[in-house]
Amino acid sequence: MPIEQKYKTANWEWIDVTAPTEEDLQFLHERYHINYLLLEDTIDPNHLPKYEEVDNVKFFLTRESTDLERRNLNSISDISSKLGIFLLPKLIITTHRVKSKSINEVCEELKKDNPENISRDKLALRLALKVMKTFDDESQTLLEVMDAMENEIFLKNTNQTNQIRRLYKLKRKSGLNTRILNISGEWISKFKNLELDDVEVMDLLDKQKDVIADFDHVNAQTVNLISMFLALSDQKANQVMKLLAIYSVYFLPITFIAGIYGMNFDNMPELHHKHGYFYTLGLMLLIVVCTFIYTRRKKW
């Protein structure tokens, strides 16, 4: 059964639902009188984070960063998964479609702590902090990837097509994460309405601001890297064109001379000279040497 009782104390009970089906949602609706529309939001993979309060049910729909690697990064579901938190009197219900890293970490902490000393609202706050931690971990990972790519771009000769794809992927990830965190400000601010100390709620708000700043930094640096990468590619192309232009300068005069002597006219006295062929080759060589000396002095 996906419905599991995680903990039960004298003050609260924690029920966790993994990959809920229509039957599970109907059971929660009938058993705990939760609005069915709220329950349906938990199975919509692309639903945005939000907060709603209906009757005596407080509903936090959050999204946590996921480790799943997606080929396409088009929507927030490609980089995150939902974690729904329902707060009822003396009851907390969590719902998620896939395994939740946040829930696993909170359960590990509760094994070391005494759940009797933790209130329902503080448990919800712990879950919210773990959700923010998943984005914090992702931002640190993206920063490390960005530093590694920067070294490859400036210090190593790597495949240009592969690099630009990786930079684009990095930019898409940071942009989608920033979008999720900005929208999450709605449900994060509602923790002020729970029975929590102001300093505890501020800790959650500060964590959100810090992670948003990290992703903004990643996004800005990625844009700069893309611009510098394209500038370096243009510079390499210019160097190749410059080299070809220099070689064309060397061969243009001697090509002109060769073209004249290829016209097969008889009125060319040097053609009948014993050393005319060698004089012509010497003239071509002299032109190349003079051109080389000229370009060196001009530092071309």
Task: In whole angstroms, give the CA distance from residue 287 to residue 272.
Answer: 23
What would the pLDDT profile of 124-147 be if each residue is shown by its tens digit?
999 999 999 999 999 999 988 888
pLDDT of residue 252: 76
pLDDT of residue 228: 77
pLDDT of residue 267: 65
pLDDT of residue 136: 93
Residue 293's pLDDT band (cuts 50, 70, 90): confident
Q: Both 97 and 246 in a single domain?
A: no
Q: Both 87 and 103 in a single domain?
A: yes
**Which segments of 184-197 does DSSP mark as H helices, in order?**
185-189
Q: Which residues contact residue 88 at a Cβ distance below 8 angstroms, ignoring those fewer than 6 apart?
A: 32, 34, 56, 57, 58
Q: Residue 51 pLDDT more than 90? A: yes
Task: In whole angstroms, give the CA distance from residue 220 to residue 214.
Answer: 10
| Half-sphere exposure at residue 18, Cβ-oriented, CA atoms within 13 angstroms | 11
Task: For residues 3-25, give the mean pLDDT.
Answer: 90
Give the sheet arrangement for strand 80-88, strand by strand: 3-8, 13-18, 91-96, 80-88, 57-65, 50-54
Residue 71's pLDDT band (cuts 50, 70, 90): low
Number of structural domains in the chain: 2
Q: Do 67 and 84 contact (CB within 8 A), yes or no?
A: no
36 or 295, greater pLDDT:
36
Q: Which domain holds residue 284?
A: 236-297
Q: Residue 167 pLDDT more than 70? A: yes
Of 198, 218, 235, which one is at a domain's C-terminal end? 235
Q: Both 119 and 230 in a single domain?
A: yes
Q: Both 208 and 288 in a single domain?
A: no
pLDDT of residue 160: 64
Q: Residue 164 pLDDT more than 70? A: yes
Show the beta-strand stretches assigned E in the chain: 3-8, 13-18, 50-54, 57-65, 80-88, 91-96
What does DSSP say about strands 13-18 and 3-8: parallel, antiparallel, or unpaired?
Answer: antiparallel
Strand partners, 51: 60
Q: Both 229 and 147 in a single domain?
A: yes
- Supply 69's token pair: 């690697």
Of 235, 260, 280, which one is at a domain's C-terminal end? 235
pLDDT of residue 124: 95
pLDDT of residue 161: 65
Q: Do 63 and 41 contact (CB within 8 A), yes or no?
A: no
Backbone torsions φ then ψ of 82, nearest 5 degrees: -80, 150
Q: Both 94 and 136 in a single domain?
A: yes
Q: Both 125 and 138 in a single domain?
A: yes
282 or 187, greater pLDDT:
187
Question: Mutual orientation of helices 120-155 and 101-112 as an angle, nearest 10°?
Answer: 120
pLDDT of residue 157: 60
Show the beta-strand stretches assigned E in 89-195: 91-96
pLDDT of residue 265: 63
Task: For residues 42-66, give the mean pLDDT.
Answer: 92
What would the pLDDT profile of 223-272 be if each residue is shown by its tens digit?
888 887 777 777 777 777 877 777 777 777 778 777 776 766 666 666 66
**Residue 281 maps to which CATH number?**
1.20.58.340
Q: Both 287 and 227 in a single domain?
A: no
Q: Both 132 and 157 in a single domain?
A: yes
Task: For residues 58-87, give the mean pLDDT.
Answer: 86
Strand partners, 63: 82
Between 104-118, 135-149, 158-172, the lowest mean confidence (pLDDT) is in 158-172
Percent of the chain topping pLDDT 70: 92
Q: Both 173 and 225 in a single domain?
A: yes
Q: Residue 1 pLDDT more than 60? A: no
What is 5-66 written as a DSSP string?
A: EEEE-SS-EEEEEES--HHHHHHHHHHH---HHHHHHTT-TTPPPEEEEETTEEEEEEEEE-
**Residue 140 maps to which CATH number?**
3.30.460.20
Q: Which residues contact residue 5 at a Cβ distance below 8 angstroms, ignoring those fewer than 6 apart?
A: 13, 14, 15, 16
> What's the length of the chain?
300
Of 200, 216, 235, which one is at a domain's C-terminal end? 235
pLDDT of residue 280: 75
Q: Both 212 and 254 in a single domain?
A: no
pLDDT of residue 138: 93
Task: For residues 207-236, give the mean pLDDT.
Answer: 85
pLDDT of residue 271: 66
Q: Both 285 and 162 in a single domain?
A: no
